[in-house]
Structure 1
Amino acid sequence: MVEHSAPDLDSLFHALGDPTRRRMIRALAGGEKTVGELAKPFAISLAAASKHIKALESAGLLRREVRGRTHLCRLEPGPLASAHAWLGFYETFWTERLDALDRLLREEDARKTEPVPQPVTQPVKGDIP
């Protein structure tokens, strides 16, 4: 497992914890966008969009470049790879436990469907063989 410092992951998960910022990240996956283009799908001001963008910038998820009066934003996917690596540990953790639970349940089901042995009865005196 790749080790990452807590503040990096903290700011990353804080940034990803907001649905508006997650949608902005998704939009940036299609290529660079202006602040106005990122704000357009939401009923928010450019100032509010800028606050979201600053949170994404501080988490390292996007880079903003100023070209004249235009602010262009570009996705920086590196921190997403860090989050994926961190979450991968827990994916393995839960997969192993769920696989063990599945094995136990299958074994229990197999025991329930095994035929029950019938008791052997001794002939009673007077029975016809």
Structure 2
Amino acid sequence: MKTQEITDCLTNGAITYIDKEEAAGDIPWSRHPKFKGVYLKHLVKGADTQGRLSCHIVKLDPRAVLEEHVHEDQWELHEVIEGEGAFFLQNKETSYHPGRLGVIPEGVEHKVASGKSGLVLLAKFFPALV
């Protein structure tokens, strides 16, 4: 399966909970409130997990940057599914490409920059971000 197909499957797939099922295609994309060229699709929200986790598709336009920021109370896991870019964790730069994971402890500054083709990743938060 090509990476674009994986992105499409997640964007338009389904989420199964113990008491309901939700169509991911019905969940709207949102502009990131701070970072230009960054879009979010909140697949799993804290309201559905007793606040314990959340999962979001994060899409960065080509050459977009999620500038340095910190989640004081959440661990974060990135799973890159499409595109390429760079991940910065405490001043260490790592190449981001499909198959790469990034683990960010709570309270640690991090940054993501997309390359010329943009970048799509799953961002999972423990406990939930939203």
Q: Pick the structure with greater CA Rg.
A: 1
Normalised to the residue count of structure 2, the TM-score between the two structures is 0.28
Normalised to the residue count of structure 1, the TM-score between the two structures is 0.28
Please identify which structure carries the higher helix content: 1
Please identify which structure carries the higher strand content: 2
